Amino acid sequence: MHVKNLELKNYRNYSSLSLNLNKGLNIFVGENAQGKTNIVESIYYLSGVKSHRTSRDSELIKWDKDRAYIKADVVKAISDYTMEFLLSNEEKKAIKVNGIRINKISEVLGTVNVVIFSPEDLKLVKEGPAFRRKFIDNELNQIRPKYHHALLQYNRVLMQRNNLLKSIKFSPSNRITAEVFSEQLAEYGSFLCDARNEFIKKLSLIARLIHRKITNGKEELEIIYDCSIGKYKNKQETKKWLLKYYIEEMDTDIERGVTLKGPHRDDLIIKINGFDTKIYGSQGQQRTAALSLKLSEIEIIKSEVSEYPILILDDVMSELDLNRQKFLLESLKDVQTILTCTSLNDINAFHFDNKDVFIVKNGNISKLKDINNNEIYNS
């Protein structure tokens, strides 16, 4: 799949933009704060109906405007899609696919698949569990629309249960209501754990193979699902365990004022040659493991939807050494790639037959080959 055309109106620093994209490599070159990441952000928005930088749509709207508009023509193997998003400061966002109004975000998920790799993703190994849970959730939201619904419901019930836990000391009668929420939490939680377990099995297999190639067989990568309730068995057993915990250990949760067990406490353990990479891995090993995980995302989506997703590389190349850059670029021949960098010197190693280079300056975009003709895509 690939984005053929992107249109933006009053989006971030773009008043009006219509941009034709190459189905191969698209390189956006410019200094910081010129609008490069705004382009990739709008493309990422197509997949999850959200930004990877903020949870508030209002921040995507040009500062002096009330509305923003994103439109993209997407080419897929089985069909073409026109996706439209109208963002407003005053109303709920409006979504259309091929001119048909979509009322639920879950109905859009999976139409476009996007994998993004940014400097923040290099923290995937060495930072806290929240980074790794977000990595898992973002992937599953794209390939399992029911997962997105279950995750939303789980987080909603979790918040309600936590609020009740804090109130039970002063209102003991709320304990009965908390038990009702415990049943719902166990139901949604067991679904999430089951989906994560299946996903991590695939992730571990693919990432291991990719990591072997990057390290020329010198390192063995292992990805382990660190389920907060212990070793995962199956959905039914997980539901029983969660419900038993939520009921029998409620006093412990009341004392702490939070729910101590469940998918919101899950993590990944990432090992290289048997050692925990977060604790014992060098910075180079941690970055290689992160790269293996992100490239595994691409392959998992390919196995699920039978075509490659769109890949975004946002200012990440300068963070990788030449060996990792080479491996990454050689892996992208069949993938539409949107790449940002700060200097023309950064693109000398990109030997792609099918590529376009765009210069970004103050929200204006021009093709490198057309600079002398002053062909401006946006002004």
High-pLDDT (> 70) share of the chain, %: 95
* Residue 82 marked in a binding site: no
30 annotated to a ligand binding site: yes
pLDDT of residue 371: 47
Q: Each residue of 294-318: pLDDT tens digit?
A: 999 999 999 998 999 999 999 888 8
Identify the pLDDT of residue 377.
Answer: 53
Residue 160 among known ligand-binding residues: no
Residues whose CB falls within 8 Å of the CB of residue 329, separated by 6 or more in sequence, listed in order:
349, 350, 352
pLDDT tens, residue by residue, 168-226 = 988 988 898 989 999 999 999 999 999 999 999 999 999 999 999 999 999 999 999 99
DSSP letters for 117-134: E-GGGGGTTTS-HHHHHH
> Which residue pairs, CB below 8 angstroms and at least 24 apart, start in 148-157?
148/105, 148/106, 148/109, 149/106, 150/188, 150/191, 150/192, 150/195, 151/188, 151/192, 153/184, 153/188, 154/185, 154/188, 154/189, 154/192, 154/262, 154/263, 154/264, 155/264, 157/181, 157/184, 157/185, 157/188
How far is residue 135's CA from residue 139's CA, in Å, rounded to a whole number?
Answer: 6
Residue 31, annotated as binding a ligand: yes
Establish whether 32 is an annotated binding residue: yes
Question: Looking at the predicted structure, is the pLDDT value of residue 374 above 50?
Answer: no
pTM of the model: 0.88
> For 66-79, how does the pLDDT look when each residue is reduced to its tens digit (9 = 90+)?
999 999 999 999 89
pLDDT at 347 (0 to 100) = 64
pLDDT over 60 (residue 27):
yes
Nearest to 250 by CA among 190, 193, 151, 166: 166
Listed range (62-71, 155-164, 192-201, 339-348) with the worst mean pLDDT: 339-348
- Give all domains of the chain, ordered by start, each with its CATH number: 1-113+309-379 (3.40.50.300), 121-305 (1.20.1050.90)
177 is in an annotated binding site: no
- Is 37 annotated among the ligand-binding residues? yes
- Calpha distance 58→190 (Å, rounded): 34
pLDDT score of 231: 85
How confident is residue 128, by pLDDT bands cut at 50, 70 and 90? very high
59 is in an annotated binding site: no
3-state secondary structure of 370: helix
Q: How far apart are CA 316 and CA 307, in angstroms?
A: 24
DSSP for 240-309 reads HHHHHHHHHTHHHHHHHTS--SSGGG-EEEEEETTEEHHHH--HHHHHHHHHHHHHHHHHHHHHHHSS--
Q: Is residue 122 very low, low, confident or very high in pLDDT (cuts 50, 70, 90)?
A: confident
On the question of pLDDT at 95 being above 60, the answer is yes
Residue 350's pLDDT is 63
- How far apart, in whole angstroms, are the C-alpha atoms of residue 288 and residue 323? 10
pLDDT for the residue numbered 372: 47
